[in-house]
Chain A
Amino acid sequence: MEHVLEVRGLVHRYGDLTALSGVDLTVEAGECVALLGPNGAGKTTLVRNVIGLIEGDADLIEVAGGSPRSAVTRRKLGVVQQAVGFPRSLTVGEIVGGAAVRRGRPLEASSQAIAEMGMAGLEKRRAAELSGGQQQRLQLAMGLVADPVLLVLDEPTVGLDVEARRRFWNTIRRRLDNGAGVLITTHIVDEAAAVADRVVVIDRGRVVAEGTPDELRRTLPDRRISVRTKLPVSVIRTLDSVEAVELRDGRTVITTTDSEQVVRTLLDLDPDATDLTVATASLEEVLLAITNHEEVAA
């Protein structure tokens, strides 16, 4: 496989604070990698190193076969950043058109990017007059105007409605099909699970887990059994391998490390139990377990 991003041993310090301690990361052509972790884990520092805004110490940091800055000047890198305030006086068309010029793309590329993000007809609207969701779509259109080998998307879908989100991911899938690599940070873990080929979990400046969403889910042996039963919670708690029991909307929810055994015992004790389902841990629960934090965010 061809690496479009390769980071080896990246260390970044802010004075006495070590934000990244020897981070390794790769993104292959046509692969979508989601970068997850709690606030302050070092994701933004990592992203800023990858796009060449800051420079830490690394054994290797290579984007499309060159340094991040050279990838920028060679127009190999497309970026969607967080929290950008647009010039109030410029219109949507002028802003995306300017991005096309800076990326060495024809102006027609800006019209296409605007249309892809469902903003056709808003070209003459000033950025200051856009809603929060429209401004986010404008930000995405700027990132999509490029035709890069690596797209870095920092919280790209914040503030987007369902339709805009669907449009965006369709566009990203087309870029992936065409061989571009995508590195995304998002706090919407379900979204990461749905779109990412691979998830990299970062915490306290280190990569603490890595794999496909399914591989990560399997690292947590817990299963959740949901059932309507007359058995008291106090009885269920005494069963082998049961870790937790709670009542939710008339259902009993049991967390266990051996779901098969618990289900058999439950049905022995209460043959009339109904609506029984068994679910694996969600990716969010896995992340919480890995990082041992209450909050998982990009």
Chain B
Amino acid sequence: MNTRIFRTEVRDELLAIVREPTALFFTVLMPVAFFALFATMFGDDGGFGVESLATYGAFGVLSVVLTNPGIGLADARERGWLRVKRADGTPLGVTLSAKVTAALPYAIITLAGITLVARLTTGPLDVSQVLRVIGVLVLGSLPFSLFSLAVGAKFSTNASVSVLNAVLIPSVILSGLWFPLEMLPTWLGEIAVFLPPYHLAQLALAQVEGGAVWGHVAYLVGITIVGAITAALAYRSAEV
């Protein structure tokens, strides 16, 4: 029964993307265009291959999964549509997981766009590394989706947009996803290890450069659990 409801929920979310693709266009376009700009400006210095796919890809994924699920949930709540689903008995887990799942195609399309730009600007890429990086970024996006849902369950649509963007941009910069941390003041750079995007990007980078992964995995698993509990509590107590 729940599988049938889940499939219907995901279908509805995906139909919304396909039928009103404007949001998809801009959500995907911004990180890809941003990557293309930096790759064009600094590509000759090297480093805009798979390594950059890890950091800019992390930014691309975050810009999707940190905003779309929460804003979609806030909008459904404001419309009263969430009230309908609750009164119909749609399980909490199904509603939340459908929102998270429906954001993944956005993220994958964004990563595909960034990969294409990396291929065009730097030449052939190691396919195995690319697939591992994309896999890590997609799987590692879960805690960010859950945080987004927690915000969407508590704030209005407009407030959710503001809150989530206010979280996205600083955390992306302070985690070294746009610029290397060395370019930031030392004290700012030291904040990175406390930020989830840093660990996601480092885990993705480790697929290219090697290095320790379990510390980052443990951090991301930990915040996934916290995110799931927070999202569930926020959703349960949300005014519908």
Point out residues on A near B: beta carbons under 8 Å. 51-53, 72-73, 75, 77, 79, 81, 83-90, 94, 97-99, 101-104, 126, 142
Encode B81-98 as 1/0 by CB contact (under 8 A) with A. Answer: 101111111100000000
- Tell whether, in the assembled complex, residue A81 and residue B83 are in contact, meaning their CB atoms are under 8 Å apart: yes
Q: Are A88 and B80 in contact (CB under 8 A)?
A: no
Query: Given A72, A83, A89, A97, which contacts B88 in the complex, CB threshold below 8 Å?
Result: A72
Measured CB to CB, the closest approach of chain B to A149, in angstroms, equals: 14
**Closest approach, in angstroms, between the C-beta of B104 and any C-beta of chain A?**
19
Q: Say yes or no: B15 contacts A81, CB within 8 Å.
A: no
Chain B stretch 1-60: residues in CB contact (< 8 A) with chain A: 1, 4-5, 8-9, 12, 15-16, 19-20
Contact of A98 among B12, B87, B240 (CB under 8 A): B12
CB distance from B239 to the nearest CB of A (A): 9
From known contacts A84-B79, A85-B81, A101-B8, infer whether A53 and B15 are also in contact, taking CB-CB under 8 Å. Answer: no
Contacting pair A89 B16 (CB below 8 A)? yes
Q: Tell whether, in the assembled complex, residue B20 and residue A102 are in contact, meaning their CB atoms are under 8 Å apart.
A: no
Can you give 5 contacting A-B residue pairs, CB < 8 Å? Answer: A53-B87, A72-B86, A72-B87, A72-B88, A87-B79
| Contacting pair A84 B81 (CB below 8 A) | yes
Nearest CB in chain A: distance from B78 CB, A: 8
- Are B87 and A52 closer than 8 Å at their CB atoms? yes
Cross-interface CB contact of A81 among B5, B12, B80, B90, cutoff 8 Å: B80
Alpha-carbon distance between A73 and B90 when the two chains are bound, in angstroms = 8
In contact, A103 and B16 (Cβ under 8 angstroms): no
Contacts A89-B20, A104-B1 given; does A94 touch B15 at CB 8 Å: yes
CB contacts (< 8 Å) of B85 on chain A: these are 102
Do B89 and A72 have beta carbons less than 8 Å apart?
yes
Q: Which residue of B lies closest to A146 (CB)?
A: B88
The answer to whether A86 touches B5 (Cβ under 8 A) is no
Instruction: Check A53 against B8 for contact (C-beta < 8 Å).
Output: no
Contact B88 A94, beta carbon cutoff 8 Å = no
Nearest-neighbour CB distance to chain A for B80, whole angstroms, equals: 4
Instruction: Name the B residues within 8 Å of A126 (CB-CB).
Output: 19
B interface residues, tally (CB under 8 Å):
24
Given contacts A81-B80, A101-B5, A102-B5, contact A87 B12 (CB under 8 A): yes
Given contacts A90-B15, A142-B84, 11 further A-B contacts (CB under 8 A): A73-B89, A81-B80, A81-B87, A84-B80, A84-B81, A85-B81, A87-B76, A89-B19, A90-B16, A94-B12, A102-B88
A53 touches B88 (CB 8 A): no
Chain B: minimal CB distance from A61 (Å): 15
CB-CB < 8 A to B86: which residues of A? 52-53, 72
Q: Closest Cβ of chain B: how far from A220's Cβ, in Å?
A: 36
- Which B residues between 55 and 82 are near A, CB-CB below 8 angstroms? 76, 78-81
Determine the chain A residues whose CB is within 8 A of the CB of B80 once the complex forms.
81, 83-85
Whose C-beta in chain B lies nearest to the C-beta of A73?
Answer: B89
> Judging by beta carbons under 8 Å apart, are B83 and A53 in contact?
yes
B90, chain A: closest CB distance, angstroms? 5
Residues of A within 8 A of B5 (CB): 101-102
Most chain A CB inside 10 Å of its own CB: which residue of B15, B19, B79, B88: B88
CB of A84 within 8 A of CB of B90, answer: no
Residue in B4, B9, B12, B84 whose CB lies within 8 Å of A84 = B84
Would you give the shortest CB distance from A18 to chain B, in whole angstroms?
19
The answer to whether B89 and A86 touch across the interface, beta carbons within 8 angstroms, is no
Residues of B within 8 A of A77 (CB): 87
Give the distance in Å from the alpha carbon of A99 to the alpha carbon of B88 in the complex. Answer: 7
User: Lowest 9 CB-CB distances: which A-B pairs, in order?
Assistant: A85-B79, A72-B89, A102-B88, A89-B19, A84-B80, A89-B16, A79-B87, A101-B8, A73-B89
Distance in angstroms from A98 CB to nearest chain B CB is 5
Complex: A88 Cα to B85 Cα, angstroms:
16
Which residues in window 75-134 of B have CB below 8 A to A? 76, 78-81, 83-90
- A75–B86 alpha-carbon span in the complex (Å): 12
Residues of B within 8 A of A75 (CB): 89
- A277 CA / B112 CA spacing, docked (Å): 81
Q: Across the interface, which residues of A come within 8 angstroms of B84, CB to CB? A: 79, 81, 84, 99, 142
Residues of A within 8 A of B78 (CB): 85
- Residues in A with CB closer than 8 Å to B8 are 97-98, 101-102
Closest beta carbon of chain B to A183's beta carbon, Å: 13
Verify A90–B12 contact, CB threshold 8 A.
Answer: yes
Q: How far is the CA of A89 from the CA of B75 in the complex (A)?
A: 13
Specify which chain A residues have a CB less than 8 angstroms from the CB of B87 in the assembled complex: 51-53, 72, 77, 79, 81
**B89–A88 CB distance below 8 A:** no
A104 to B28, CA, bound (A): 36
- Whole-angstrom CA separation of A16 from B172 in the bound complex: 43
A88's nearest neighbour on chain B, judged by CB, is: B20
Whole-angstrom distance between the alpha carbons of A214 and B136 in the complex? 70
**Whole-angstrom distance between the alpha carbons of A86 and B76 in the complex?**
9
Q: Which residue of B lies closest to A95 (CB)?
A: B12
Within the assembled complex, what's the spacing in Å between the Cα atoms of A86 and B81?
6
Cα–Cα distance between A94 and B16 once the two chains are bound (Å):
12
